[in-house]
Structure formats: C-alpha cells, structure tokens
Amino acid sequence: MGGLIFVFLAGASTAWAAEGEEVRGTLRIQGQPVAGVKITVATDADAPVGEATTGADGTWKVAVDKAGSYKVTLDQATLPAGKALRDPNRGTLTVQVFEGNARNVLFGLVDANAPPQGQQGDGGGGSSYWTRVAQLVFEGLNLGLIIALGAVGLSLIFGTTGLTNFAHGELLTIGAFLAFFFNTVLGLHLLIAAPIALVIAAGFGWGQDRFFWGQLRRRKTGLISMMIISIGLALFLRALLLFLFGGGGESYDQYVAQAGIQIGPISATPKSLVAMGIEIVVLIAVGLALTYTRLGKATRAVADNPALASSSGINVDRVIRLVWASGTCIAALAGILLGTTQNLNFQMGQQILLLMFAGVTLGGLGTAFGALVGSLVVGMFVQVSTLWIPPEMKTIGALVVLIIVLMVRPQGILGRRERIG
C-alpha cells in the first residue's frame, strides 16, 4: 500500500513539476471537436512566441516564456468548410497569463451554413434553427444528468445532516483524478480504472464522516461553523489536487476523441450516449433504493426527523455514514463521466458546484428527487439559453431561472412548505 501511494505521489508530482505558463483551449461546435485549426501566439509587441494545431479532441496549447500579456490568433483560413467564428472580428484575443498558471482561451465557433438567429426565411422557424434547438436540448439533458448525479449526493447529505457542503465539487474532481491515476499512471483501461476509483471514493466518503464530520457533530459544532469548515476543506483539496496534478488539462487514455453519429437532427458521440445511459440507470437505481429498500426508508426517516428515527431504533450515525459513502461514490462517477467529455483539471468540480447548488435549491432542499428535477431544468436552460446569449454567459441564465422560480415557489419545485417561527 505504501508503495502504491509513493507511485501515486511520484507520478502526479512529476506532472505538476512539468507545468509552466501556457495558453490553451478547446475548439468545439455543438459538442464536437474541431481538429486541424492553426493557433498562433505572440507578445504584445507582435514578437512570435509559438503556434499549435488543434488535435483530434479539439485541444491545443502553446507554452510561453513568462507571465505577461499575449495575443492569441486563430487562423480562420484553417477552419473546416462550413465552420466560422461567431464574430469574425474576434480572431485575435489579448489575454493575461499569470506566473505558474495556464490561461484558457475561448473562441466562439458557429456553423457557417446556418442562417443567423432571427433571420430565417420563415421568421425564426427554419430547419437549421430547429436543428440547433434539438442539439442544445440534447446537450442540456446530458449536462443536467451529470449535474443531477452530483446534486443527489449533495442533497442527501444536506437532508440527513443539515450540512451545506461546499467541498462536494471536489469529490467530483477526486473521482475523476483517481480514475486518471489508475488509467494513465498504472496503465489500466478506463473501464477497469473507473470501478476501482469509485470504490476508493466510497471509502473516502465513509472516512470523511467517520473521522471528521462525525466528530464535529459529536462536539455539537454548529451548522454555520461546519459550512465554513467545508469551504476551508474545499480550498485544501483543490490546492492538493493542484500540487499533485498541476494546473494543466489532462485526459484519459481511452475515449478522448470519437466521431459523432447522426440521430435525426442530433449529433452525438457514442461515449456521450453511453454516459447518459449510465447516468439514467444510476439515478433510477437511487430513486428505487430510496423508495423501496430498508436503507432508503431509513435515510428518508433520518432526513425527516433524526430524533424520532433514533428513538425508533434506527442507527442514525450508520445511516449518515452510508449516505456519505454513497453520495461520494455517485459524485465521483459524475466526475469520471464529465472527464470523458472535457479535459480534467483541478477546478472542474468547483466549476460545476454552482450549478449543483442551483439544481438542489431549485428542486427543493433535502429532497433527492427534487435535486434530480432541478438539475435537469438547470442543465437544459444553461444550454438552450445560448440561443439568445453568448455561451460565455450561459451560467447566468441558470441563476436567473433559480431566482424567478424561488420568487414564485420559495420551497422549490418539489420542496415542502415549512412554518417559520
């Protein structure tokens, strides 16, 4: 076991040591990578720094000598036929690179064959427009299912303990990087590495409650104090992941780039369809377990009234510990599946945490079924909102929906009214 830990630290630290200042990005259109596009980087004085060509997965990166301001240019002549920049005047972007960090650069691409929004010959109802709507709905469903996997665990932990866990996003990242370690460092196929990572993640969740959160509960630590502690824990885990794996993007050895298949108006990769199938099966299994199994009924009893559940003979601490283990395992699965669709980085959990909170709050705090419904609504709206707003601002749309729904129904979609005072 000690040797395995040593290999883990040595391999991960090597990856960290190799990182430096760089600019990087990923070119995609409707979820599909765009390969063969030339990107050049120059200083503010137009001195050439380097160039790169997007790979099969759409990614590119250029190392820079030092921190500073750089001009990143996309050669529009190298774009595939039918593809173009959303704004042709934004072919060159000026970005700031900080010491020891990688800077992500986003170029907005569109299908040049699609008519501009609002200019279709049939008043916005052209076939290209509705094809894009169908594609965005599909991508929103995919995103919503990933958010739901993470949000279910977050909601169950809140329901049984009252803890608002700001470190839950890092559980997704840990799951993704555990699978990455077994996949790329130890050379196991992802289909073998992922189950091993899930088992370790479940043990990590169980250990968290056994040796950390459970001890705080026994000391009668307040919920606000525990929430603040979870923020500190999130920062610690994020820094640890940064130290071990660096700030650059990583990817699994398998299922990185796949050709899309056309299903009616929707273009999808086989891995995205398989991932959605896994997500649906897991979410259905969780719902059935909560409804019909003895542990599920005990979990709902503890969430409803811990004192009454304890007086009824339910081991509350054991139920909470199992909730932590299962919630962490499901979150790790969400991280692994998310890692098959994008590069792994130490902030990937933090980036989706806000959407998980939005899904949980929108669906109703403390209800797993509410978290599922709320997450699907959030994921759908995040993607579909890019019909009207720039993709860079799509997360804002989810928060607007959250505010509007809570103004009409403060307890959330499936939440229950509670008397205050």
Report the percent of the chain where pLDDT is more than 90. Answer: 30
**pLDDT value of residue 190:** 92
Helices 394-408, 368-384: inter-axial angle, 10-degree rounding: 130
Tokens describing residue 337: 């599946």
For residues 43 and 159, membership in a common domain is answered with no
Question: Residue 102 is part of a domain; what is its CATH number?
Answer: 2.60.40.10
Report the percent of the chain where pLDDT is more than 70. Answer: 88
CA 35 – CA 43 distance, rounded (Å): 25
Kindly indicate the confidence band of residue 110, based on its pLDDT and cuts at 50, 70 and 90. confident
Q: Is residue 258 part of a domain?
A: no
Q: Is residue 10 part of a domain?
A: no
**pLDDT value of residue 225:** 93
Q: Is residue 413 part of a domain?
A: no
Domain count, the chain: 2
Q: Is residue 345 part of a domain?
A: yes
Range list of β-strands (E), 239-397:
261-263, 266-268
For residues 95 and 185, membership in a common domain is answered with no
**pLDDT value of residue 114:** 52
Question: Residue 350 is part of a domain; what is its CATH number?
Answer: 1.10.3470
Residue 98 has pLDDT above 70, yes or no: yes
Kindly indicate the confidence band of residue 20, based on its pLDDT and cuts at 50, 70 and 90. low
Residue 256 has pLDDT above 80, yes or no: no
For residues 141 and 179, membership in a common domain is answered with yes
Name the domain boundary from 85, 111, 137: 111
Q: 232 vs 415, which has greater pLDDT? A: 232
Least confident of 27-41, 274-288, 314-328, 390-404: 390-404
For residues 232 and 101, membership in a common domain is answered with no
Name the domain boundary from 111, 146, 165: 111
Q: What is the pLDDT of residues 332-385, one digit of tens each?
A: 999 999 988 888 888 888 888 888 888 888 887 767 788 888 888 888 888 888
Q: Is residue 203 part of a domain?
A: yes
- Give the domain extent around 56: 22-111
For residues 135 and 62, membership in a common domain is answered with no
| Over residues 4-8, mean pLDDT | 36
**pLDDT value of residue 418:** 56
**pLDDT value of residue 171:** 94
**pLDDT value of residue 14:** 39
User: Strand 68-74 relative to strand 38-43: parallel, antiparallel, unpaired?
Assistant: antiparallel
| Over residues 407-421, mean pLDDT | 66
Under DSSP, the state recorded for 184 is I
Residue 198 has pLDDT above 80, yes or no: yes
Residue 120 in contact with residue 128, Cβ under 8 Å?
yes
Name the domain boundary from 76, 111, 146: 111
| Over residues 271-283, mean pLDDT | 91
Q: Is residue 117 part of a domain?
A: no
Kindly indicate the confidence band of residue 415, based on its pLDDT and cuts at 50, 70 and 90. low
pTM, two decimal places: 0.75
**pLDDT value of residue 416:** 64
Q: Is residue 226 part of a domain?
A: yes
Residue 163 has pLDDT above 60, yes or no: yes
For residues 160 and 187, membership in a common domain is answered with yes
| Over residues 213-239, mean pLDDT | 92
**pLDDT value of residue 304:** 84
Q: What are the backbone dihedrals phi and psi of residue 60, each rounded to the nearest 5 degrees, phi first? A: -155, 155
For residues 342 and 373, membership in a common domain is answered with yes
Q: What is the pLDDT of residues 172-183, one digit of tens each?
A: 999 999 999 999
For residues 49 and 142, membership in a common domain is answered with no
Q: What is the 3-state secondary structure (H, E, C) of 22-43?
A: EEEEECEECCEECCCCEEEEEE
In the predicted model, what is the mean pLDDT of the chain? 82
CA 251 – CA 341 distance, rounded (Å): 9
Q: Is residue 272 part of a domain?
A: yes
Residue 1 has pLDDT above 90, yes or no: no
